[in-house]
Amino acid sequence: MGEGRDGRSYVRSARPVTGAGDLDQLAVTGRHERLVSVIRERGLIRFDEPVQLASGEMSREFVDGKAALSRGEDLELACRALLELVGDLDFDAVGGLTMGADQFAHVVAVLARKEWFVVRKDPKGRGTNRRVEGAKVGSGWRVLLVDDVVTTGGSIRKAFEAMEQLGAEVAGAATLVDRGETAARYFAARSVPYKSVLTYRDLEIEPVGDGSVDPEAV
């Protein structure tokens, strides 16, 4: 019971107490919902007939992660979600295969105060002839692999193989959208933590592949 300026008594309305943990969860939920909206509105294309994806799979739906995140604020939102996803994972540098990883490598490196790198699809062929540009990752480095849209995970697997060749340890892998199950199986077989911010379920689209691919064979 309280008393107003006019002398009248009133009953204080009960308000739920929101703790710091609840606020953090609300922020994560809100970020997730915003990303779903951004990807669906700016990056999801539906065709009348199936088209071939980079993985070789066929689908009537195409997710253009680059177009979806062309606005700076949306890219920052996605990169903060990636960092939230990997939690307390310890890594020295972040990167992956060009071009799907480039924007995430750069912005995550800024936000996390880490180094960035990109993996060329083929060696440069001149100058240093490096395949990996940016941070000089190698033995003793712990790296986080990133990518935009994954179907069977071919691009992020190539980045993983490049890191192995350099002697770097892959601390984890994270993607914006995973359209199937194959990438998760691949990394699970290698005991590498793997997560995606969004999946085909979030976007309400059909999965790519049936999940039966042997991760040791892809």
The rounded average pLDDT for each run of 10 residues, N- to C-terminus, in the chain (218 residues) is 44 40 60 94 93 86 96 97 93 97 98 97 72 96 97 94 97 97 95 96 87 44
Burial 10-49 (b: 16+ CB within 10 A, else e): eeeeeeeeeeeeeeeeeeeeebeeebbebbbeebbeeeee
What confidence score (pLDDT) does residue 53 get? 85
What confidence score (pLDDT) does residue 56 get? 83
Provide the sign of the torsion angle of the four alpha carbons 15, 17, 23, 29, taken in this order.
negative
**2 within domain boundaries:** no
User: Strands, DSSP E only, in 44-168?
Assistant: 44-52, 58-63, 93-97, 115-119, 132-134, 142-150
- Give the domain extent around 198: 19-203
What confidence score (pLDDT) does residue 24 get? 57
**210 within domain boundaries:** no
What confidence score (pLDDT) does residue 212 get? 44
**132 within domain boundaries:** yes
**14 within domain boundaries:** no
Residue of 160, 164, 162 lying closest to 193 (CA atoms)? 160
**63 within domain boundaries:** yes
Exposure on the CB side of residue 6, measured as CA atoms within 13 A: 3
Domain count, the chain: 1
**3 within domain boundaries:** no
Residue 142's domain is classified under what CATH number? 3.40.50.2020
**1 within domain boundaries:** no
**12 within domain boundaries:** no
